[in-house]
């Protein structure tokens, strides 16, 4: 659905007073700005004008302007990094919005409730144990093995959490959060054991999987993440109406004509796909899935028809912004991305908890 289409659909839906179009425009501007910033900012700073010139020449295939160094930095280093960041940010944020919609609670977040750590554990297990098996597979399958493993890990964890948190058709928020925390800790511990048993450069790998980084981004990673994240987005847009009805309650959504079980199953698979792709590309970057949908709701309101595209745009902006910070704070060293998102996200989560203390009970 185009942005105008969404804006029109929501305007006619009686959302007077919600600046939906303005909000989506704002988030789009932020995403573009963060993307350009990600290409321009770094140890070797390139003026945005030069960035555009290099990109334009690359797209049009014209004789390269810019210096070789500029071209290498922009096209081979920063562009894949920015693409991976944008995809992972969108994926985590939209997955967060979907999870919150399905659990009917704004505290559900893929990294907090163990989905992302579960995906990371599966990804590490694939790297450590999968290698001998992978050699037997045809070449194209070898490459997608990692994101597929992360997807499977995310799917299993989501299903386990949904199972644990649900009782008599109601989702207990306290169980959801605590079981999710325990599962996340368990998965991270498993990741740690595997990394330390298997790898030469253990600590670095462990930091990548548990705190995330865009440091290892390549064109290949971007190409692998893209179909999963785009699939998640397409599904999320399709589920938006149903998720709005689900906010009324599960029985109410059924009475309004939603196939609730099918909606939940589809959402779980989509969440696992988005989170799996993001984690395979960047490791576990916490709090994006929690903070982004919430910020988006503050601006454009809770309707998922606008929330899904808004989360995608703002998620990309936030993750790229966090990566710029991660590269700048301790330059020339890089902070793990998850450290930056946690610095912002954890206090935000506490604030959200205190605000809804009664609700969490």
**What residue ranges bind another protein (CB under 8 A)?**
9, 12-17, 101, 104-106, 241-242, 244-249, 251-252, 254-260, 297, 301-303
* Least distance to another protein, CB of residue 322, Å: 25
CB of 318 to another protein, least distance (A): 20
Question: Quick one: 86 or 94, whose CB is closer to another protein?
Answer: 94
Nearer to another protein, 193 or 256 (CB): 256
Q: For residue 169, what are its two tokens?
A: 């058709």
The smaller minimum CB distance to another protein, of residues 49 and 357, is found at: 357
Shortest CB 256 distance to another protein, Å? 4
Q: Which is nearer to another protein, 51 or 246 (CB)?
A: 246
CA distance 325 to 336: 10
Q: How far is the CB of 180 from another protein (least distance, A)?
A: 18
Sign of the four-CA dihedral 62, 66, 71, 74: negative
**From the CB of 235, what's the least distance to another protein, in Å?**
17
Q: How far apart are CA 6 and CA 17, in angstroms?
A: 16
How near is the Cβ of 108 to another protein at its closest, in Å? 11
- Between residues 267 and 285, which has the closer beta carbon with respect to another protein? 267
For another protein, the closer of residues 245 and 285 by Cβ is 245
């Amino acid at each position: 659905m185009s942005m105008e289409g969404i804006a029109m659909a929501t305007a006619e839906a009686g959302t007077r007073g919600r600046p939906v179009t303005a909000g989506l425009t704002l988030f789009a501007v932020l995403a573009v700005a963060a993307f350009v910033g990600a290409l321009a900012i770094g140890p070797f700073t390139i003026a945005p004008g030069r960035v555009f010139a290099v990109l334009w020449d690359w797209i049009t295939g014209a004789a390269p302007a810019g210096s070789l160094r500029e071209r290498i930095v922009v096209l081979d280093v920063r562009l894949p990094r920015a693409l991976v960041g944008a995809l992972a940010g969108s994926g985590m944020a939209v997955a967060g919005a979907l999870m919150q919609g399905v659990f009917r609670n704004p505290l559900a977040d893929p990294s907090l409730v163990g989905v992302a750590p579960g995906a990371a554990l599966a990804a590490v297990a694939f790297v450590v144990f999968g290698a001998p098996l992978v050699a037997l597979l045809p070449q194209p399958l070898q490459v997608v093995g990692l994101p597929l493993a992360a997807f499977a890990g995310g799917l299993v964890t989501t299903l386990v959490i949904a199972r644990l948190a649900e009782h008599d058709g109601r989702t207990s928020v306290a169980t959801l959060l605590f079981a999710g925390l325990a599962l996340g800790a368990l998965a991270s511990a498993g990741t740690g054991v595997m990394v330390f048993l298997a790898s030469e450069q253990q600590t670095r790998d462990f930091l990548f999987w548990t705190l995330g980084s865009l440091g290892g981004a390549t064109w290949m990673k971007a190409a692998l993440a893209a179909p999963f994240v785009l699939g998640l987005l397409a599904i999320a847009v399709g589920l938006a109406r149903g998720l709005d009805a689900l906010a009324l309650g599960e029985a109410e959504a059924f009475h309004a004509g939603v196939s609730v079980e099918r909606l939940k199953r589809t959402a779980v698979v989509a969440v696992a796909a988005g989170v799996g792709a993001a984690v395979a590309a960047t490791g576990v970057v916490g709090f994006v899935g929690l903070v982004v949908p919430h910020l988006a709701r503050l601006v454009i309101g809770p309707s998922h028809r606008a929330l899904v595209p808004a989360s995608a745009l703002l998620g990309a902006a936030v993750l790229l912004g966090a990566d710029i910070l991660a590269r700048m704070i301790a330059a020339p060293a890089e902070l793990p991305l998850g450290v930056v998102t946690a610095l912002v996200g954890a206090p935000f989560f506490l604030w959200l908890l205190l605000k809804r203390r009664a609700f969490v009970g």
